[in-house]
Amino acid sequence: MALYSEKVMDHFTNPRNVGELENADGVGEVGNAKCGDIMKIYLKIDDNIITDVKFNTFGCGSAIASSSMATEMIKGKSIDEALELTNKAVVEALDGLPPHKIHCSVLAEEAVKAALKDYYDKNNIPYDKALFPDCDSCAHCADH
C-alpha cells in the first residue's frame, strides 16, 4: 500500500493557490516547532465571501498538500462556512494522511482560522472567542 494517496501526491506536486495576496483582508501564519512546518494563508474577502486565497508553506509534502486542499475547500465559501473547516475534513478530502502526518492537516485548519481571526481583528468585527479555541497557541494569534 502506498504511503500517500493520489490526491496528496497531486496537491503536493501541483499545489493550488500558491503565493501571496497583496493587501490581503486576513493573514494567518502558524507553525509547528516539532516538525518545522510553517504555513501562511492570505484571504481576500468581499461581502462575507472568500473570493481569493493563497498560501505559502515551508514544510513536507503533507503540509503542502494540506495547505493546497484547505485553500480549495474554502475558496468561494462564506466566512461561516470556512470557520467550519476541520482538519478531519482536509484529511478526508486528501483521501487520508499517514497517522504521523495528521498534524499537517491541523496546521492547515489553524492557519485558516488565524487568517479569519486576523480579518475580524483588522475590521473590528466582534466574534465569539470560542470559534478560535486553539488560536492563542499559534504563532500569529499569540501576538494579539
- Asked if residue 72 lies in contact with residue 17, where contact means CB atoms within 8 angstroms, the answer is yes
51/67 Cα distance (integer angstroms): 17
Catalytically active residues are 35, 104
- Asked if residue 117 lies in contact with residue 22, where contact means CB atoms within 8 angstroms, the answer is no
CB atoms within 10 A of CB 81: 14
Q: Residue 120's Cα: distance from chain center in Å?
A: 16
67/61 Cα distance (integer angstroms): 10
Runs of H (alpha helix) within the chain: 6-13, 61-74, 79-83, 87-93, 102-122
